[in-house]
Structure 1
Amino acid sequence: MLSTSHTVRRATSALLALSTSLLALALSAPASAEVIVRGTEGAPLHEARPAPGAIFPDEHIVVAQPSPSEVDPSFLGPVLLMKSAHIDLEKGTMTVPLRKGRLESGELVWSVLTDVTDENLANLHGINYSAKLAYGLIGKATRSARIEKDGTFVFASGKVDFKPEHAVTPGDAPNFFPPKSAQPGAIGDADYSPLVQFENGKNAVFNMPMVAFDASEETLNAMCDGAVDKTVVHDKVTAICPRDGTVTLQMTLGYTFGKPIFYLSTEANDPVVATLEGAILTPALNDTPFALEDAAPGESAERIYVFVNGPTGIDHPFRQGVNSALSDGGHGPLNVLGGIPTINLDYSPIWRLFPVLWTEEAIEKGWRTKLTNAIDIENAGAKGIVVSIAGGPPQAVGFLVNCPVVYRIN
């Protein structure tokens, strides 16, 4: 007969073994794409389901869950890329932690964390990992900050004026782009950049877009229910609540290698681009090195293709482009991004725009359609049916936008 102490030891050993096994299982289990609001579910045992409201009618069907991406995020299916975000697929919004800080001069700074150059910190904070952002540590492209003992972020410089009223007047049909006038809803000073390096942290560059500046907690808490004042906060904000420590932001629908995705537009270096993106005009981004090959040392940005003269009309099954965005009731241009996490290694939240046009020949022969894959666009460029607005094949022309990726829909 076993002694009582021996029985206890065996039971304890068994419990420890079980705990270790469960912990290992939890650590190895893939993260599923969990959201607050998923939309309409599909029929039982069906591999597809109706597209949620935020991407309809541009997409009618999306991959259902359980999906292959829940086994491996590189496989087909939904993937929550920014783990700190709660997603509402019906509204197309994301809710993330609101970060309180201040300038050295005392003004309050309200920001969000979206990307970082350190993979461990990315996993810790539930944000995107971007190795290429390290090349943005040059000139005014990255500003400095420190973290005080109580956790407060203190920024050396960088102010944003959120008071301007966002306004755009489209051009005359059928060429709604370029617009007759464009006024960004927020303007950063010469020192403002969303890229930040902390003096007393790891040697990492963070992407920390500002969502409000020099606004009190009392002022912002009045916007917890969604009644936001766009002269106080970023144009992408749909609710902000220091009391709860959260901010809700409108996402943008785009594509990468044929897959629909949601991303967040926060800054741009050009007034027209900033207006069209609903972003902060940020001159400091001009110091960001770009226009090299995507994976070249020194290249801090990735490419995003923007069609100017794609098909228009919200009911057109292949609508796409800036002309559509300016004429089709506020629906987005359906831009095409390059590499993102789970698909490629060269992701950066800083994107260099490749604005392109369908040629008259392509339009006359009925070849114009919606393209959702960077390779397909480059292929069309090689065939001469899609050209840069600067002439010649698709190319960067000097425009930069800060667009962290948030959610892969398929």
Structure 2
Amino acid sequence: MIIQASRWAASALFALTAFVGAGTAPAFADERTLFITSATEHVDDTATFPLYRGRRGNADVWYIVLDSSDDKDAQRRGVNHAQKLANARGTQAVQKASVDPDGVVRFPASVDFSFQRRVIPGPAGFPPSLADPGAVGEIGYSPLIELPNGVILNAPHIANATGRAAKVIGIDVGTYTVRMELTRGFQGGRGVKYLSTDASDPAVAALENVTFAPQLKFAPRAGGDGTDSARASLAAFVNGQTGAANPQRQGLNSALLDGLSPLNVLFWNPKQGRYSPLWDVHPAQWSAQAVATRQNLRQTDFGQVENLAQDGVITGPGGAPFASADFVVNCPIVSRD
């Protein structure tokens, strides 16, 4: 049975509608590395993932699994191995889940998908004049769960009786699959596609069109990118070039004004030990001189962004040092050029 609706009422959760194009596109548009091997990537910047049914109290919730802290578990599930997620164990960034004898996972908290997302660009695009998220986690909700065996999973909730995540294109509960919208970015000088699901800040959640999950702010630690942290570094430009047809387009201002991906720059990929799906956002602002001399070109490598920051070409917002803003976005990398 297939579900595809803008908002679900509890009584219509399993209403039958069309899931257009599901499974008809090839797994790859070109020669790409697929990190989440349980996914099928399509040519339209979407991917199909295995869907799981869980319980929150007496109600069904639907979730996906994208990363695991355990290598063997990750291989078995066909998801990213993110060993750094283990560093979040015991913090408020993780909710402890139980498992019924039939394998159904029970969650202490879920998501309210019924809010109205509102985003109004500011005069320069970023910062926005208004940014309210359309999905809000209940008290205690986190996409990170600890199973009884101690494994930490990245298991975002994507649907329940209140509605569904905005990135969902369609759900097939008969085949236990869900098709979701991906976002383009860069890592190590190459293009990547990732799935954005949650953010610890409400304005960031509104901009990303994902769930506001404030518990993620407790993931250790701001500015920590090593193997002793649960986070990895991401650069998000606030004043890059704009224009949908501009090959140098990049940044949050472009995302707001052009309605396209901000093309964020991620430090690590899932084959590297310092990878985590919990991205520690480093806002990057081009200096006035760089903008005036058109040095504000599209960046694709976090190390190069750091070099430009050391040279003073890039700073944090308002001329502050380039550093973590202590915002976490949950964006597992699905594939890479």
TM norm. shorter chain > 0.5: yes
Q: Is 1:354–1:388's contact at 8 Å kept on the other side of the alignment?
A: yes
SS in 1 for 2:304: helix
- Tell me which residue corresponds to 1:331: 260
Please report how far the alpha carbon of residue 389 of structure 1 lies from its aligned counterpart in structure 2 after TM superposition.
Answer: 1.5
Q: Which amino acid aligns with 2:295?
A: W
Q: Does 1:168 align with 2:119?
A: yes
Q: Is 2:227–2:274's contact at 8 Å kept on the other side of the alignment?
A: no
Q: Is 2:40–2:48's contact at 8 Å kept on the other side of the alignment?
A: yes
Change (3 A) 1:364 1:115: same
Of structures 1 and 2, the one scoring higher in RCO (CA 8 A, sep 6+) is 2
Measure, in 2, the Cα distance between the counterparts of 1:255 and 1:278.
19
SS in 1 for 2:164: coil
Please report how far the alpha carbon of residue 373 of structure 1 lies from its aligned counterpart in structure 2 after TM superposition.
Answer: 0.4
Please report how far the alpha carbon of residue 291 of structure 1 lies from its aligned counterpart in structure 2 after TM superposition.
Answer: 2.0
Q: Does 1:97 align with 2:25?
A: no
Q: Is 1:102–1:154's contact at 8 Å kept on the other side of the alignment?
A: yes
Q: Which of residues 27, 31, 36 in structure 2 aligns to 1:82? A: 36
Unaligned ranges ≥5, structure 1: 1-34, 40-63, 66-77, 216-230
Q: What pairs up with 1:245-324 in 2 under 5 angstroms?
A: 245-297=176-228, 299-324=229-254
Q: Percent identity?
A: 36
SS in 1 for 2:235: strand
Q: Is 1:189–1:283's contact at 8 Å kept on the other side of the alignment?
A: no
Task: Flag the structure with higher helix content.
Answer: 1
Q: What pairs up with 1:1-400 in 2 under 5 angstroms?
A: 36-39=26-29, 65=31, 78-89=32-43, 91-103=44-56, 105-155=57-107, 157-172=108-123, 175-199=124-148, 202-213=149-160, 215=161, 232-297=163-228, 299-328=229-258, 330-342=259-271, 344-389=272-317, 391-400=319-328
Q: Alpha-carbon deviations, 1:313-341, whole Å to 9, x = none?
A: 0111100001111111x211000001112
Q: Is 1:305–1:354's contact at 8 Å kept on the other side of the alignment?
A: yes
Measure, in 1, the Cα distance between the counterparts of 2:74 and 2:110.
26
Please report how far the alpha carbon of residue 364 of structure 1 lies from its aligned counterpart in structure 2 after TM superposition.
Answer: 1.2
Change (3 A) 1:37 1:133: closer
Please report how far the alpha carbon of residue 167 of structure 1 lies from its aligned counterpart in structure 2 after TM superposition.
Answer: 1.9
Q: Alpha-carbon deviations, 1:77-106, whole Å to 9, x = none?
A: x211000101102x1011111100102x21
Q: Which amino acid aligns with 2:87?
A: Y
Q: Is 2:223–2:323's contact at 8 Å kept on the other side of the alignment?
A: no
Measure, in 2, the Cα distance between the counterparts of 1:290 and 1:169.
31
Measure, in 1, the Cα distance between the counterparts of 2:132 and 2:224.
32
Q: Which runs of 4+ in 1 moved over 6 A?
A: none
Q: Which amino acid aligns with 1:206?
A: L
Q: Alpha-carbon deviations, 1:220-250, whole Å to 9, x = none?
A: xxxxxxxxxxx61001100012122111110
CA RMSD of aligned residues (A): 1.4
Please report how far the alpha carbon of residue 402 of structure 1 lies from its aligned counterpart in structure 2 after TM superposition.
Answer: 0.4
Please report how far the alpha carbon of residue 390 of structure 1 lies from its aligned counterpart in structure 2 after TM superposition.
Answer: 6.0
TM-score norm. by structure 1 comes to 0.74
Task: Flag the structure with higher strand content.
Answer: 2
Please report how far the alpha carbon of residue 140 of structure 1 lies from its aligned counterpart in structure 2 after TM superposition.
Answer: 2.0
Q: Which amino acid aligns with 1:82?
A: I
Equivalent residue pairs, number:
313
Change (3 A) 1:38 1:159: closer
Measure, in 1, the Cα distance between the counterparts of 2:194 and 2:130.
26
TM-score norm. by structure 2 comes to 0.90
